[in-house]
Amino acid sequence: MMRLRLLSTVLACVAVGTAYAQTPPTASPATFIHVGRLIAEPGTPPTQTKTLIVRDGKIEAIRDGYVAPSAGAKLVDLKSKTVLPGLIDSHVHLLSELSSSSRLDQVTKEESDLALDGLVHAQKTLRAGFTTVVDLGADGHHTIFALRDQFASGRLLGPRILAAGAAISPTGGHGDVHGFREDIMHVMGPKSVCNGVDDCRRAVREQVKAGANIIKVTATGGVLSNTASGLSQQFFDDELKAIADTAHLLGKTATAHAHGKGGIEAALRAGFDSIEHSSYADAETFALYKAKNACVVPTLLAGTTVTEMAKAGGTLTGAQAAKALTVGPLMVNMLSRAREAGVCVVFGTDSGVSRHGDNAREFELMVQAGFTPAEALRSATVGGASHLGLSDQIGTLAPGKAADLVAVTGDPLTDISLMRKIDFVMVGGRIAKE
């Protein structure tokens, strides 16, 4: 009898469980956003008086007028604001920020320090309106992957991150370690340093194995490497081709830090998808960009920042300052000529050289180079999404896409400096600033 009662109890519990399983799930609460002026796709005309309905991190609908929220929904009033897609910065370094202590930081900071620095910098970047960033080189490359994954999981609130991990460099190149005692440099030297075709293939595979979304290469010398080795090509042509081919074989895009004309063109011929900086590009270089369907990420803010630091003193070493004063002033003019040539331009700041959270200053420098505000905004939304292969998810505001959006007071199409005064930020349907 006892066994029968036990069986009866178990069956009843199963029946109750089945009943619960068959109950339709309750719909997630929505957020209704009343928008006064909507730039859903920068580069196309704005619209007025709209309601964005957000649910489960995505835009469910865009309706005309101010639609009353459904029961249980949250209402966000942006009737006095201009609303745009979340901004995309395609070149940052979240784990660091250039200062007078930067050289010492390399040998004193632990991975835990880098993680906390990265969290602070990422949240400053997000509050500035940048809901997606590309981290193009981190000494703590496992740390940047961990930060990326924590934001993606929703455990921490931050921007969407695509990360390269450690930049790939030749021995003695821009991405190597310079200016310390030899035994210290031996310990600090990154595994991403490579020499020769086979070793460069190995370096790419190491970064992909570690979790890289994109491969970053230092194809030429750089301003902030503490060596007086110039800004010209540092990898051989066959090494660059091996890197690009290996990245593409493993399903990754490849971008090259490059200042000197020869290095830019070698990387483009090797099949790189984009070039960072491109300071010494000329008409011949721009023609190659177009022939190879590649984009330039200009990082004007980095050039302006290092020029200012070199003049002020106290932050850069002598080798760094000399290069900064040479290359920094070239960059706005380069971008002006790239625009006239019809080259694909994608917004990127190299923040970490400049202060995190100041990213939108790049817009003003782009306008100084001849871009209209609409063109500059498009490079940080539609253009950035296309560059990253994420046009189906971000870059515009449309049903089915991520609920990444920002709001400003006034009209950034007539005053681009307003983008430095973001009033509201939402990333993946979560409010990061209001």
The DSSP annotation for 164-197 comes to --SPBB-TTSTTS--SS-HHHHHHH--TTB--SH
Predicted pLDDT of residue 317: 80
Give the DSSP letter of residue 391: T
Q: For 315-370, what is each residue's pLDDT tens digit?
A: 888 888 888 898 889 999 999 999 999 999 999 999 999 999 999 999 999 999 99
91 and 297 in contact (C-beta within 8 Å)? yes
- The pLDDT assigned to 109 comes to 76
Q: Examine the pLDDT at 400 and tell me if it is beyond 60.
A: yes
Q: Tell me which DSSP letter residue 7 carries.
A: H
Lowest mean pLDDT of 223-237, 258-272, 379-393, 401-415, name the range.
Answer: 223-237
Q: What is the pLDDT of residue 107?
A: 67
Give me the pLDDT at residue 1, please.
Answer: 39
CA distance 103 to 273: 31
Domains of the chain, CATH where assigned: 31-86+399-433 (2.30.40.10), 87-388 (3.20.20.140)
- What one-character-per-residue DSSP string does 287-302 give? HHHHHHT-EEE--HHH
Mean pLDDT of 379-383: 98
**Structure confidence at residue 15 as a pLDDT band (50, 70, 90):** very low
Give the rounded percent of residues in the chain with a pLDDT score beyond 70. 86
Alpha helices (H) along 83-222: 102-108, 111-127, 141-153, 182-188, 197-210
Q: Which sign, positive or negative, has the C-alpha torsion 412, 418, 420, 421?
A: negative
CA distances from 396 to 78, 286, 317, 385, 393 (A): 18, 28, 42, 9, 8
Asked whether the CA dihedral 269, 271, 277, 283 is positive or negative, the reply is: positive
Q: Hey, is 48 helix, strand or coil?
A: strand
In this prediction, residue 301 carries a pLDDT of: 97
Give the per-residue pLDDT at 319.
84
117 vs 8, more confident: 117
Helix count (H) and strand count (E) of the chain? 15, 15
pLDDT at residue 375 tops 60: yes
pLDDT of residue 382: 98
Report pLDDT digits (tens) over 66-99. 999 999 999 999 999 999 999 999 999 999 998 7
- Whether the per-residue pLDDT at 181 is higher than 70: the answer is no
Q: Quickly count: other Cβ atoms within 10 Å of residue 116's Cβ.
A: 14
What average pLDDT does the chain have? 89
